[in-house]
Amino acid sequence: MLSNLAARDVETLVHPYTNLAAFRETGPLVLERGDGVWVYDTEGRPYLEGMAGLWCTALGYSNAELVAAATEQLGRLPFSHLFSGRSHDPAIALAEALKEVMPVPTSKVFFTSSGSEANDTQVKLTWYLNNALGRPRKKKIIARERGYHGVTVATASMTGLPANHADWDLPLPGFLHTACPHHYRFAEPGETEEAFSSRLADELEALILREDPETVAAFVAEPVMGAGGAITPPSGYFAKIQAVLDRYDVRFIADEVICGFGRLGTWFGSEALGMRPDTISFAKAVTSGYVPLGGVSIDEPLYEAMLDESRKLGTFGHGTTYSGHPVACAVALKTLEIYRRDRIVEGVAAKAPQFQARLARLREHPLVGEARGIGLIGGVEIVADKASKAQFEPKAGVAARCVAFAQAEGLIVRFLVGDRVAVCPPLVIRPDEIDALFDRLERALDRTAAWIAAEGLAAMPAQAR
């Protein structure tokens, strides 16, 4: 029986990434407040927020300084825009601060309200750039299977997940996908990580040649794949990919929406993994998730092309009402100040060994085939047989059941495609809270194993894999 609040939710809201039919029976988990790494439902029950909300609440909940920054800005200039040459102090100061920490040469910053908008802007700017350079055929965008880049028409086309394409009439023409760099699941028997990376680079090169390099404009990748399974790239992967991109003059877009601002123990994931992108998309942790804000870094060659197009067309015809919203920029400025002052990024690097050791220990569990990550992010793959890596039938919903058991244990984590469970806590999590997180996840896995045994679930037939 749903509570009154839950019943009202079912009758009024559409929830993203939710089985809407099943949801009518189960209803929502309604959260009421948060403090640090903990959130509390309407009954007062605490949950350790093991996903930092949605990969974003880096500084935890109820940070008084971020609340004060938003409140002060609301009282001073609650709204302005950047259209037609208008500006305001928070946007200017934030752009300056971001240029200081960007790991790529950055001439300017363009603000959006989300990661989807940032990546959509990247697509448009890539097309715009090549038109300005007199290369009207160089427009195709290559992403990766299982990559996640957003839900606009363009970014959902880049996203390489079946649920984002099926019955949405996507992807659009000109959006291509190359192989997912998940060594555990997709490497050939006996293939080392380096050999796997070489094979994927060769496959990318073959795709570019097949399509014609004069038509391929950009390659987009997350440092660590988020919604596609919290997948860490294999050894040597980005160096080998970079060589292919350089060979064919393909622009490299780093989608840092999840990995940016400390998640991997560096300011940006590109630094941790040796990536050399031309441009970066950011969002989420730039405001610790408190206010919607995203953006892209603009390199000087792109900016020069934008100037040329403005001279030709009379305007830069792109932007949204909330691009550079003053409240969002004020909160982001305070967030960056806290990251620096409190050495949050260095703290992640210091806590990562404990986090990764506890994550690796999960491999001893009979249900866990892979447990791998970097910094304060990790992915766990549940399998029916560890030796063969055989999976359960997707319709059994084993990872979803594990996440439900975790919630019952007072832990919020997320299930993803391929019976994977993601863990991505706030960056301010304490060592004792790291242990509490994994203790609860271990108990959830034990309960999942007992449920599997009671249900008599078995691996899916080999021919169906």
pLDDT at residue number 211: 98
Are β-strands 46-49 and 38-41 bridged in parallel, bridged antiparallel, or unpaired?
A: antiparallel
Rg (CA), the chain: 22
pLDDT in tens, 331-385: 999 999 999 999 999 999 999 999 999 999 999 999 999 999 999 999 999 999 9
Band of residue 420 on the pLDDT scale cut at 50, 70, 90? very high
Cα–Cα distance, 280 to 299 (Å, whole number): 10
pLDDT at residue number 282: 98
In angstroms, the first-to-last Cα distance of the chain is 38
Q: Are the C-beta atoms of residues 141 and 127 closer than 8 Å to each other? A: no
The whole-number average pLDDT for the span 305-331 is 97
Question: How many percent of the chain have pLDDT more than 70?
Answer: 99
The whole-number average pLDDT for the span 194-207 is 98
The whole-number average pLDDT for the span 410-439 is 98
Unique residue bearing structure tokens 């979803």: 400
| Fold exhibited by the domain 4-62+343-464 | Aspartate Aminotransferase, domain 1 (3.90.1150)
**Distance set, CA 28 to CA 7, 9, 202 (Å):** 9, 7, 45
Domain boundaries, given as residue ranges, for the chain: 4-62+343-464, 66-341
Cis ω on the peptide bond leading into residue 431 (within 30° of 0)? no
Query: Exposed, middle or buried, 386 (CB in 10 Å: 0-12/13-18/19+)?
Result: middle
CATH number of 66-341: 3.40.640.10
Q: Are the C-beta atoms of residues 441 and 362 closer than 8 Å to each other? A: yes
CA-wise closest residue to 428 among 63, 47, 40 = 63
Residues 6+ apart with CB under 8 A from 344: 58, 59, 262, 338, 427, 428
Residue 287 pLDDT exceeds 60: yes
Band of residue 56 on the pLDDT scale cut at 50, 70, 90? very high
What token pair was written down for 121?
């802007």
The whole-number average pLDDT for the span 28-33 is 95
Question: How many percent of the chain have pLDDT more than 90?
Answer: 97
Residue 465 pLDDT exceeds 80: no
Band of residue 460 on the pLDDT scale cut at 50, 70, 90? confident
Band of residue 2 on the pLDDT scale cut at 50, 70, 90? confident
CA-wise closest residue to 297 among 141, 104, 126 = 104
| Vertex 455 angle, CA 450 and 458, to 5° | 95
Residue 419 pLDDT exceeds 70: yes
What token pair was written down for 360?
């690796």
pLDDT at residue number 151: 97
Band of residue 463 on the pLDDT scale cut at 50, 70, 90? low
